[in-house]
């Protein structure tokens, strides 16, 4: 799937996960859920170094970061409710989570494509690190990352879901930038748009 699809479906997955937990009830929480999901949706592709579409991939990452910046700005205008919830974890937990998250990003960047960063181990690791560093974002980020793995399973190229086991998995049902990719993007946009309409 394209980076655009991973960002949009990740944001939708983040919003869905947050809704299942009883929020978002405000635009601030909605933005945080979408940003966490979008960030999670882009993390597995940190292992992409020689992309056929480098500009498009960079734009997807920029979009995820832009959503995160928007969420922080909205939280600031609302009096930092999510930041205060995150701070309750304590400085040691936040520092440990941030270091673990950075280490996992480095490991993902150095791994072969569709190996460690596309595994259940990476999903658990990134989710745990986010839970330590910023608990409010953890469910959305986990949902976004999981959505990336699910989408890539539909592709023709296997992902090493059980890394370090060498065997990979794929369903071979679609290709990147095809009709299924476009349909997933449209569905993700519909979920996010629906959530925005409910929140405002």
pLDDT tens digits, 8-25: 999 999 999 988 888 666
Of 187, 167, 184, nearest to 175 by C-alpha is 184
Mean per-residue pLDDT over the chain, rounded: 88
| Assessment of whether the complete model's pTM goes beyond 0.85 | yes
Tell me how many domains the chain contains: 1
Domain of 53 in residue numbering reads as 3-199
Q: In whole angstroms, what is the distance from residue 119 CA to residue 121 CA?
A: 5
Whether the predicted pLDDT of 51 surpasses 80: no
pLDDT tens digits, 94-142: 999 999 999 999 999 999 989 999 999 999 999 999 999 999 899 999 9
């Amino acid at each position: 799937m394209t980076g655009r699809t991973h960002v949009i479906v990740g944001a939708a997955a983040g919003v869905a996960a947050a809704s299942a937990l009883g929020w978002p009830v405000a635009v601030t929480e909605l933005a945080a859920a979408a940003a966490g999901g979008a960030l999670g949706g882009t993390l597995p592709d940190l292992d992409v170094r020689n992309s056929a579409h480098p500009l498009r991939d960079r734009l997807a990452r920029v979009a995820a970061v832009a959503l995160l910046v928007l969420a922080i700005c909205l939280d600031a205008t609302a009096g930092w409710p999510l930041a205060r919830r995150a701070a309750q974890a304590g400085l040691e937990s936040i520092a440990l989570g941030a270091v673990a998250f950075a280490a996992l990003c480095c490991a993902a960047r150095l791994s072969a494509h569709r190996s460690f960063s596309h595994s259940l181990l990476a999903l658990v690791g990134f989710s745990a690190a986010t839970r330590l560093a910023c608990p409010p974002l953890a469910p959305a980020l986990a949902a976004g990352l999981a959505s990336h793995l699910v989408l890539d399973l539909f592709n023709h190229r296997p992902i090493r879901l059980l890394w370090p086991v060498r065997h990979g998995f794929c369903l071979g049902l679609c290709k990147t930038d095809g009709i299924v990719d476009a349909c997933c993007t449209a569905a993700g946009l519909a979920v996010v748009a629906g959530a925005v309409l409910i929140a405002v």
